[in-house]
Amino acid sequence: MNKNYYLLILLCITTVCSVFGQQNDITNKLFSTYEKYKEPSIDERRIKHEDIQPLITKIGEDPRFEVNKVGESIEGRSLSLISVGTGSTNVFLWSQMHGNEPTATQAIFDILHFLASDDFKQEKEDILKNLKLHFLPMLNPDGAQGYNRRNALGIDINRDALMLQSPEGRTLKRVRDSLNAKFGFNLHDQSTYYNAERTNKPATISYLAPAFNYEKDINEVRGDAMRVIVFMNRIIQNYAPGQVGRYNDDFEPRAFGDNIQKWGTSAILIESGGYKDDVEKQFIRKLNYVSILSAIYTIAKENYKDIPISEYEEIPQNDRKLFDLKLIGVTYNLLGKPYKLDVGIHRNEVDIPAKNSFYYSSRVADQGDLSTFYGYEELEAEDYTITPGKVYPMTLKYIKELSQLNIEELLRLGYTYVRIENIPENQRFSNMPLHIIGPNYKVHTFNLQLGINPTFLLEKEGKNEYAIVNGFLIDLNNGDGKFSNALIFK
């Protein structure tokens, strides 16, 4: 190879390093100052249309922003488009196409606060003079009302790009076409049980540059989406190393992302997954804020054009091999014989009737050889034997009498159920680590199998050392454990 070739390679490497070096400075500042711009009124996941309307109204009072009603949902809730910037390049961001996927919706309002502030003047000037940003923060408000994935018609809007049966889908198509956006950010949440392939790390953020045909060809439009994803992945690695996944890119002809790519907008799918001890996904919300704003900045500066597409394929594939709790090598006695097995537990959320909060109803998700699976929480249980929980022999009259009992001592004695005469009609769970059962409820004989509620003791040398109540692990030696709720069985 000649000298000029080596100089060219060195120049390319220097350029890429310079791009990321400058961007890291901005990204670190965005990360460290985030709390200043976070919208505090929507800090829980089950946000509704009525929660964001005052925020949109307030934004509309700022003359730098345009707020337009661009459509209505089936049940008549408004769909608003918020625009800012004077540049000739349109960037379109839409969120909550699925009503129970609100993390990026929250981040959008944080981004809007940032854009309305007096800080980062040079960076914001670079963004807003080159780009015009358009935000549609809640595409499926009817689904959000009931914290449902689908809309009021019962269809998945993200599979409505061809038929356009839903007014929400038609609005998305019309806005995309009217803007002819160069970039589109399709913002979602995914299950917390996804992990980065062949690792125990959750896929906290996952990306996809959707294919626009069955052959999965890469043209300039899709290639630009890949470049921006590579850039965003590098940012996330600073704050959640190893916790990024990449979705399978098989072409789905009905999906909006695939078709938006096909229609000429570089489509970037972002999925917010899980992060340990981040139930309301507020750290993940922060990662959305930082990475999306940084991506917008690199689009404005056109630095993404120097990023190699080859790095896109290096992002690990999304896998789904996580449990909330994994017991490793526990002993289970069946028909008089001991068996060693792993147990994987999922803590499933159940919405309360108002759909603004939830409780957990856990289930055994798998058992057997789970050596290729992982847990947010794991217990090496080779020395422990599963022992069924018992019903406390005394019947209490009211739930408030539970506070008079020594709960930890009852668990150490093997009691996981307490019978109570008078249970309020609408009460479905207990905040104490004992299941409450009604006067006539019969606790079934314990049989470890898929689908049962995981409630039992872990015994060692005749002593109960751990209790698992509704899938939550409690150390009976010191009371440690992140317990949430037990259940009421009437």
Domain that holds residue 411: 322-489
Q: Are residues 346 and 428 in the same domain?
A: yes
Q: Report whether pLDDT(119) > 60.
A: yes
pLDDT digits (tens, 9 = 90+) for 219-246: 999 999 999 999 999 999 999 999 999 9
Domain co-membership, 379 together with 419 = yes
* Closest to 451 measured CA to CA, from 361, 377, 380, 375: 361
pLDDT tier for residue 11 given thresholds of 50, 70 and 90 = very low
Maximal C-alpha separation, the chain: 89
How confident is residue 129, by pLDDT bands cut at 50, 70 and 90? very high
Task: Please report the pLDDT score of residue 56 as a whole number.
Answer: 98
Indicate if the pLDDT at residue 442 is higher than 70: yes
Please check whether residues 37 and 121 belong to one and the same domain: yes
Q: What is the mean pLDDT of residues 285-291?
A: 98
Same domain for 310 and 390, yes or no, is: no
Confidence at residue 25, expressed as pLDDT on a 0 to 100 scale: 80
- Report residue 7's pLDDT band, with 50, 70 and 90 as the boundaries: very low
Q: How many CB atoms lie within 10 A of CB 410?
A: 21
Q: Quick one: 96 and 116 in the same domain? A: yes
Q: Compute the mean pLDDT over every residue in the chain, rounded to the nearest whole number.
A: 95
DSSP 306: G
Q: Write the DSSP symbol of residue 300.
A: H
Q: Are 376 and 365 in contact (CB under 8 A)?
A: no
Residues in a beta bridge with 93? 135, 185
User: 220: burial class by Cβ within 10 Å (0-12, 13-18, 19+)?
Assistant: exposed
What is the rounded CA–CA span in Å between residue 103 and residue 285?
6
Within 10 Å of residue 254's Cβ, how many Cβ atoms?
A: 13
**CA–CA dist 440, 399 (Å, integer):** 16
Instruction: State the CATH number of the domain containing residue 312.
Output: 3.40.630.10
Q: How many helices (H) and strands (E) does the chain have?
A: 10, 24
174-204 confidence digits (pLDDT tens): 999 999 999 999 999 999 999 999 999 999 9
Average pLDDT score over residue span 85-98: 98
Which pLDDT score, from 0 to 100, does residue 22 have?
Answer: 54
Q: Is the pLDDT of residue 10 over 50?
A: no
Give the percent of the chain with pLDDT over 90: 94
- Local confidence band at 23 (pLDDT 50, 70, 90 cut-offs): low
Co-location of 334 and 305 in the same domain: no
pLDDT at 108 over 90: yes
Say how many C-beta atoms besides its own lie within 10 A of residue 328's C-beta: 16
Yes or no: say if 315 and 233 are a contact pair by the CB < 8 Å rule: yes
Distance CA 403, CA 208 (A): 50
Domain check: are 239 and 175 in the same one? yes
pTM above 0.85? yes
Residue type, 145: Q
Q: Look at residue 417 and give its three-state secondary structure.
A: strand
Q: Do residue 278 and residue 381 come from a single domain?
A: no
- Is residue 258 within 8 A of residue 174, CB to CB? The reply is no
